[in-house]
Structure 1
Amino acid sequence: MDDDLAAEWEAAMTEQVGSAAEDGGSWASKLETQIAKTEEKRKNADRVLNQDEVDSFLGFNPAELGLSDQSGIRAIINSALVSYERLPMLEIVFDRLVRLLTASLRNFTSDNVEVSLDIIKSVRFGDYLNSIPLPAILSVFKAKQWDGFGMIAVDSPLAYSIVDVLLGGRRSTAKLKVEGRPYTSIETSLVQRMIEVVLEDAELAFRPVSPVSFSFDRLETNPKFAAITRPANAAILVRLRVDMEERGGSIEILLPYATIEPIRDVLLQGFMGEKFGRDATWEGHLATEIWSAKTEVKAVLYDKKLPLRRILDLDVGDTLMLDLKPDALVEIRCGDEPLTQGRIGRSGEHVAIQVAKPLRRSRTTLAAFEAAGQVRKETA
């Protein structure tokens, strides 16, 4: 009996932890190893996520802004941003700005300058300010007709390149060293002249869409002093790449959505002259057809609601008392809509209604119908 019980225990332990003869170990040592593995798995299950795993879960990447390739909770937060693709005319405007700016900067620097459109995207203003690499030159400008502000950011490589070109520096293939010192008054003055050139070309680029005047407001080197809208507000960010042979940098133009809101309807167009909602030709045709349409008009002497039980009890010879005086006005209706009131009478062998009050005016304008009526009279 004891031998059978020992054999049963041995078979169970062999199935759980393996044979005692394997690797020269005992059941006790293998059991301790199994317990250690189970404890390690439990600790791994309770392990706290590191920063990279947290950033991956939230979809946060400090190197990128906007809506490109984001996932997780941050993608849900940024879903409130309006994509610039809903404003197709805006991309056409900045393509025109690239062509204008290429010619203007060539004349400004007397050098071979190539301007290219790097990216257009939607960002949050606060996130953009925190991502600006320092030192940088920030220019705040005002759009007078739109009653709003915008911002132009010139990075350090481009600022030093412009200073080097305008002051007659040598054309060197070596990359310019970006220093951490503040900009001098001469450097800021030269960069300001370039920014004024950019603003002039931006006016020309927007002129076919909406005439606007961009006026230089101030120059800042600290992003905190260049705040033009609330940090959570959405804005359009346009990055232009400026290459002058082996040197150059980037210009970033930021326009809050509140600034371009007055011309939003124009920017929604896919091409110049596109019309949304209102078409004068179709409007006139519709008004002409409505003007010549026939409609049925009814004169209602008396209107009163009665219980269904009383109506079912009516029989031949019953009399309905109308609460109406002989000189009372009758209501003229078109369908269920009341038009005016009139007085009932007789004209020859016919019963007639004399209009006693002016027609009830519609809530919509009648200018289109009056214009269509004038055209109909002239063609008659």
Structure 2
Amino acid sequence: MAEEGQQTEEEMAAAMEAMASGGDDSKALSQDEIDNLLGFSAAPAHEKKTGIEAMLDKALLSYERFPMLEVVFDRFVRMLSTSLRNFTSDNVDVDIHSITSLRFGDYVNSIPMPAILSVFKAIEWENLALVTYNGSIVYSMVDVLFGGRKSNRPIRIEGRPYTSIEQSIVRQVTELILIDMGAAFDPLSPATFQFERIETNPRFATIAHPSDTVVLLQLRVDMEERGGNIEVMFPLVTLEPIKKLLTQTFMGESFGKDSIWELHLGKEIYNTDVVVKAILGKKKTTMEKLMKLKVGDTIILDNKASEDIDLTCEGIRVLKGKIGKVEEDVAIAVSEVINKNMRERD
């Protein structure tokens, strides 16, 4: 029996040693599996996050909570297409590639270089936003405006700094974008966008905290065989003054006039019972005199017997009249309508 107990203890110790030394390799996770579990995979910033990172990012406010924002952006794209056609005298198509929400820091890190960033200010909202142009759209604009030949070959993006001519063209396009964006927001809320500056380094265009949520509108601009991407980025802090308007499901949160419902509501309102009180008079007194009042005492009011008395409804004076008697009932003859908005029922 002693040998059996000793053998059992030795087997348990061997099993524990095997577990500590990682003898069961089938249960060990690889580095890729750990990264996927935590959500820290090498995926682009715009792709949907998974794992624990997605749980931590759950507080990220989605643009889908702002139904009117998509309506505004759709109107903006139609206006911008017309403006760019007039500006370039060429056939220009502008389409919405995507509307997403992400962190400002993730967006800055995902901007492909070279790029030009235009910082602009929303005057009424007292905050800033960005318009980003990738290299393809900048070189395509220069090519179109200066009469370059159409070619099926892709535009070669150079790593050199942008020239003053290229930056001047970007500024003119930005002015068009800001005018059209203001016109798109106008039916919802008056908005004036003012150009601030141009940056070629995303680090110098930091207009929000890296953890702040932003709404990103990605546009695809096609000019026949040429084109590129334009991105308009609004921090949620910038949109905060019109947040309630953006959460509406339709413009103005009101339907068209419904005469049938209006007539029915009017009838029900006219049939509503209300309480009308006749105020005979008022008297100011002290708490001491009020406490000494007893049955049989006479209270002398401040108004005269010949004066009109007030008739109130829910504390609002609506009529004036003289008190009298009809048979055995107390009656009041209306002498004045105080509320001029009162109208007799037709």
* TM-score, structure 1 as length reference: 0.65
When the two chains are superposed, the root-mean-square deviation of aligned CA atoms in Å is 3.9
State the match for 2:168 in structure 1. 189
1:70, distance to aligned residue in structure 2 (A): 2.7
Q: Which digits, 9 at most, give the CA deviation of each residue in 1:284-311, with x for residues without a partner? A: 999999992479xxxxxxxxxxxxxxxx
Hey, what's the Cα distance between the residues in 2 that align with 1:165 and 1:146?
35
Unmatched segments (≥5 aa) in structure 2: 1-17, 256-261, 278-286, 303-312, 319-337
2:138 to 145, 152, 159: 159
Distance 1:326 1:113, change over 3 A: closer
Hey, what's the Cα distance between the residues in 2 that align with 1:55 and 1:368?
69
1:232 aligns with 2:194: no
1:165, distance to aligned residue in structure 2 (A): 0.9
The structure where helix makes up a greater share of residues is 1
Secondary structure of 2:198's counterpart equals strand
Secondary structure of 1:183's counterpart equals coil
Q: Answer yes or no: is the 8 Å Cα contact 1:345–1:353 preserved in 2.
A: no
1:150 aligns with 2:115: no
1:49 to 30, 33, 54: 30
Distance 1:345 1:54, change over 3 A: same
State the match for 2:58 in structure 1. 79
2:274 to 284, 292, 310: 292
Hey, what's the Cα distance between the residues in 2 that align with 1:247 and 1:173?
8
Distance 1:40 1:220, change over 3 A: same
2:149 to 162, 167, 170: 170
Question: What amino acid does structure 1 have at the position aligned with 2:158?
Answer: E
Hey, what's the Cα distance between the residues in 2 that align with 1:237 and 1:260?
12
Question: What amino acid does structure 2 have at the position aligned with 1:261?
Answer: E
1:140 aligns with 2:140: no
1:255 to 219, 226, 234: 234
Question: What amino acid does structure 1 have at the position aligned with 2:61?
Answer: V
Distance 1:197 1:285, change over 3 A: farther
1:202 to 155, 158, 181: 181
> Which 4+ stretches in 1 moved above 3 angstroms?
37-41, 45-48, 60-66, 284-291, 343-347, 351-355, 366-371, 375-380
Hey, what's the Cα distance between the residues in 2 that align with 1:263 and 1:367?
36
Question: What amino acid does structure 1 have at the position aligned with 2:227?
Answer: G
Question: What amino acid does structure 2 have at the position aligned with 1:169?
Answer: G
Which has the higher Rg, Structure 1 or Structure 2?
Answer: 1
1:274 aligns with 2:274: no
1:59 aligns with 2:39: yes
Secondary structure of 2:222's counterpart equals strand
Distance 1:63 1:205, change over 3 A: farther
* TM-score, structure 2 as length reference: 0.71
Hey, what's the Cα distance between the residues in 2 that align with 1:370 and 1:96?
50
Q: Answer yes or no: is the 8 Å Cα contact 1:148–1:259 preserved in 2.
A: yes
Residue-pair matches, total:
283
Q: Answer yes or no: is the 8 Å Cα contact 1:123–1:234 preserved in 2.
A: yes
1:327 aligns with 2:309: no
Question: What amino acid does structure 2 have at the position aligned with 1:379?
Answer: E
Distance 1:290 1:103, change over 3 A: same
